[in-house]
Protein backbone atom coordinates (compact mmCIF):
# COMPACT_ATOMS: atom_id res chain seq x y z
CA UNK A 1 0.00 0.00 0.00
CA UNK A 2 1.35 3.39 -0.93
CA UNK A 3 1.57 5.68 2.08
CA UNK A 4 -0.73 8.18 0.44
CA UNK A 5 -3.33 5.55 -0.45
CA UNK A 6 -6.04 6.69 1.92
CA UNK A 7 -8.68 4.46 0.34
CA UNK A 8 -6.72 1.27 1.10
CA UNK A 9 -6.18 2.51 4.65
CA UNK A 10 -9.94 3.14 5.03
CA UNK A 11 -10.81 -0.25 3.49
CA UNK A 12 -8.46 -2.01 5.89
CA UNK A 13 -9.98 -0.23 8.90
CA UNK A 14 -13.46 -0.99 7.56
CA UNK A 15 -12.60 -4.70 7.75
CA UNK A 16 -12.65 -4.45 11.54
CA UNK A 17 -16.19 -4.73 12.98
CA UNK A 18 -16.78 -2.53 16.00
CA UNK A 19 -19.52 -1.30 18.26
CA UNK A 20 -20.84 2.25 18.12
CA UNK A 21 -20.84 4.77 20.96
CA UNK A 22 -22.04 8.27 21.67
CA UNK A 23 -19.58 10.18 23.81
CA UNK A 24 -21.22 13.00 25.77
CA UNK A 25 -20.32 15.74 28.21
CA UNK A 26 -21.69 18.91 29.75
CA UNK A 27 -19.47 22.00 29.90
CA UNK A 28 -19.13 24.59 32.67
CA UNK A 29 -21.93 26.70 31.17
CA UNK A 30 -24.30 23.73 31.16
CA UNK A 31 -24.08 23.18 27.40
CA UNK A 32 -24.15 19.57 26.23
CA UNK A 33 -21.70 18.18 23.66
CA UNK A 34 -21.49 14.80 21.99
CA UNK A 35 -20.33 12.85 18.97
CA UNK A 36 -20.68 9.36 17.54
CA UNK A 37 -17.53 7.28 17.89
CA UNK A 38 -16.51 3.77 16.89
CA UNK A 39 -12.91 4.21 18.06
CA UNK A 40 -13.78 3.04 21.58
CA UNK A 41 -11.53 0.44 23.22
CA UNK A 42 -10.83 -0.97 26.64
CA UNK A 43 -7.33 -0.15 27.91
CA UNK A 44 -6.74 -1.34 31.48
CA UNK A 45 -8.54 -3.37 34.15
CA UNK A 46 -6.73 -1.90 37.15
CA UNK A 47 -7.30 0.98 37.12
CA UNK A 48 -10.34 0.62 34.83
CA UNK A 49 -9.39 2.66 31.74
CA UNK A 50 -10.95 3.00 28.30
CA UNK A 51 -10.15 5.17 25.29
CA UNK A 52 -11.90 6.93 22.48
CA UNK A 53 -10.36 9.07 19.71
CA UNK A 54 -11.81 12.43 18.72
CA UNK A 55 -10.97 14.31 15.51
CA UNK A 56 -9.15 17.57 16.16
CA UNK A 57 -11.63 19.20 13.78
CA UNK A 58 -14.70 18.10 15.79
CA UNK A 59 -16.82 21.02 17.01
CA UNK A 60 -16.94 19.29 20.39
CA UNK A 61 -13.14 18.88 20.56
CA UNK A 62 -12.52 21.97 22.76
CA UNK A 63 -15.26 20.84 25.17
CA UNK A 64 -13.74 17.36 25.50
CA UNK A 65 -10.27 18.85 26.04
CA UNK A 66 -11.64 20.67 29.08
CA UNK A 67 -14.10 18.00 30.26
CA UNK A 68 -13.53 16.51 33.69
CA UNK A 69 -16.23 13.92 33.10
CA UNK A 70 -17.83 12.31 30.08
CA UNK A 71 -20.05 9.33 29.34
CA UNK A 72 -19.44 6.69 26.71
CA UNK A 73 -22.82 5.27 25.75
CA UNK A 74 -22.50 1.92 23.96
CA UNK A 75 -25.38 1.82 21.48
CA UNK A 76 -27.87 -0.96 20.99
CA UNK A 77 -29.69 -2.17 17.91
CA UNK A 78 -32.42 0.35 17.06
CA UNK A 79 -30.25 3.36 17.93
CA UNK A 80 -28.94 3.79 14.37
CA UNK A 81 -30.82 7.09 13.90
CA UNK A 82 -29.32 8.69 16.99
CA UNK A 83 -25.87 7.43 15.92
CA UNK A 84 -26.32 9.22 12.58
CA UNK A 85 -27.70 12.33 14.29
CA UNK A 86 -24.67 12.65 16.55
CA UNK A 87 -22.40 12.24 13.51
CA UNK A 88 -23.85 15.44 11.99
CA UNK A 89 -22.32 18.84 12.50
CA UNK A 90 -24.21 22.00 13.36
CA UNK A 91 -27.44 20.32 14.51
CA UNK A 92 -29.21 20.42 17.85
CA UNK A 93 -27.89 17.06 18.98
CA UNK A 94 -29.55 16.69 22.36
CA UNK A 95 -32.91 18.41 21.73
CA UNK A 96 -34.67 15.53 19.96
CA UNK A 97 -33.38 12.80 22.28
CA UNK A 98 -34.08 11.87 25.86
CA UNK A 99 -30.89 11.84 27.83
CA UNK A 100 -30.63 11.77 31.60
CA UNK A 101 -28.77 14.86 32.71
CA UNK A 102 -26.83 15.64 35.83
CA UNK A 103 -27.76 18.35 38.30
CA UNK A 104 -25.83 20.63 40.62
CA UNK A 105 -26.41 18.17 43.45
CA UNK A 106 -25.57 15.17 41.33
CA UNK A 107 -23.29 16.25 38.47
CA UNK A 108 -22.85 13.66 35.75
CA UNK A 109 -22.55 13.72 31.96
CA UNK A 110 -25.59 13.04 29.73
CA UNK A 111 -26.53 9.35 29.86
CA UNK A 112 -28.56 7.79 27.04
CA UNK A 113 -31.31 5.41 28.21
CA UNK A 114 -31.67 2.24 26.13
CA UNK A 115 -27.93 1.92 25.54
CA UNK A 116 -26.15 -1.41 26.01
CA UNK A 117 -24.08 0.27 28.69
CA UNK A 118 -23.18 3.79 29.75
CA UNK A 119 -19.68 4.24 31.15
CA UNK A 120 -19.32 7.38 33.22
CA UNK A 121 -15.65 8.38 33.12
CA UNK A 122 -13.39 10.98 34.62
CA UNK A 123 -10.75 12.38 32.27
CA UNK A 124 -7.55 10.44 33.03
CA UNK A 125 -5.24 11.43 30.17
CA UNK A 126 -5.21 13.09 26.78
CA UNK A 127 -2.75 12.27 23.99
CA UNK A 128 -2.28 14.13 20.72
CA UNK A 129 -2.11 11.53 17.92
CA UNK A 130 -1.99 12.81 14.35
CA UNK A 131 -5.26 14.41 13.34
CA UNK A 132 -7.05 12.91 16.37
CA UNK A 133 -6.75 13.18 20.13
CA UNK A 134 -6.91 10.08 22.31
CA UNK A 135 -9.11 10.54 25.37
CA UNK A 136 -8.31 8.10 28.15
CA UNK A 137 -11.15 7.83 30.64
CA UNK A 138 -11.26 6.21 34.02
CA UNK A 139 -14.56 4.43 34.58
CA UNK A 140 -16.25 5.69 37.73
CA UNK A 141 -19.73 4.30 37.22
CA UNK A 142 -21.43 1.86 34.87
CA UNK A 143 -25.07 1.51 33.92
CA UNK A 144 -25.80 -1.76 32.17
CA UNK A 145 -28.76 -2.16 29.84
CA UNK A 146 -30.29 -5.31 28.45
CA UNK A 147 -30.34 -5.16 24.68
CA UNK A 148 -28.53 -6.31 21.52
CA UNK A 149 -25.48 -4.30 20.49
CA UNK A 150 -25.29 -2.16 17.36
CA UNK A 151 -22.40 -3.16 15.10
CA UNK A 152 -20.54 -0.99 12.58
CA UNK A 153 -18.72 -2.77 9.77
CA UNK A 154 -17.54 -1.77 6.31
CA UNK A 155 -19.13 1.71 6.68
CA UNK A 156 -22.58 0.41 7.60
CA UNK A 157 -24.63 -0.53 10.63
CA UNK A 158 -25.17 -4.27 11.04
CA UNK A 159 -27.42 -6.39 13.15
CA UNK A 160 -25.71 -8.97 15.27
CA UNK A 161 -27.31 -12.40 15.04
CA UNK A 162 -26.88 -13.72 18.53
CA UNK A 163 -25.86 -17.35 18.52
CA UNK A 164 -28.15 -19.69 20.37
CA UNK A 165 -26.66 -22.45 22.44
CA UNK A 166 -27.89 -24.99 19.86
CA UNK A 167 -26.09 -23.15 17.04
CA UNK A 168 -22.92 -22.96 19.08
CA UNK A 169 -22.96 -26.69 19.75
CA UNK A 170 -23.86 -27.84 16.24
For the bound state, the minimum distance from the C-beta of residue 132 to ligand FMN, rounded and expressed in Å, comes to: 6
Note the residues at the interface with ligand FMN (CB under 6 A). 20, 35-39, 53-55, 58-60, 83, 86-89, 152
111/118 Cα distance (integer angstroms): 6
The nearer residue to ligand FMN, 35 or 94, going by C-beta atoms, is 35
Rounded to whole angstroms, the Cα distance separating 147 from 76 reads: 6
Closer residue to ligand FMN in complex, CB, 20/120: 20
Query: CB of 122: closest distance to ligand FMN in angstroms?
Result: 20
Report the alpha-carbon distance of residue 22 to residue 28 in Å, rounded.
20
Provide, rounded to whole angstroms, the least separation between the CB of residue 105 and ligand FMN. Answer: 28
For ligand FMN, give the closer residue by CB, 43 or 103: 43
Q: How far is the CB of 168 from ligand FMN (least distance, A)?
A: 28
Give Cβ neighbours of residue 64 (< 8 Å, ≥ 6 apart): 23, 25, 33, 54, 58, 70, 133, 135
Instruction: State the DSSP H helix or E strand holding residue 21, giving kind and residue range, or none if neither.
Output: strand 21-26
Whole-number Å distance between alpha carbons of 122 and 10: 31
DSSP helix, strand, coil percent of the chain (3-state; round to 5): 15, 40, 45
| Min dist. Cβ of residue 60 to ligand FMN (A) | 3
Neighbours of 56 (CB within 10 A): 12
The nearer residue to ligand FMN, 59 or 103, going by C-beta atoms, is 59
Q: Report the residue number, 130 or 166, with the smaller CB distance to ligand FMN.
A: 130
Amino acid sequence: MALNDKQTFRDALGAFPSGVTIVSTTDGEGRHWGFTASSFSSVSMDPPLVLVCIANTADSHPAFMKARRYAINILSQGQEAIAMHFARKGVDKFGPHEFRYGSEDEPHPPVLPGSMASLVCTAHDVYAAGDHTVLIGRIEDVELGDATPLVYYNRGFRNLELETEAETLS
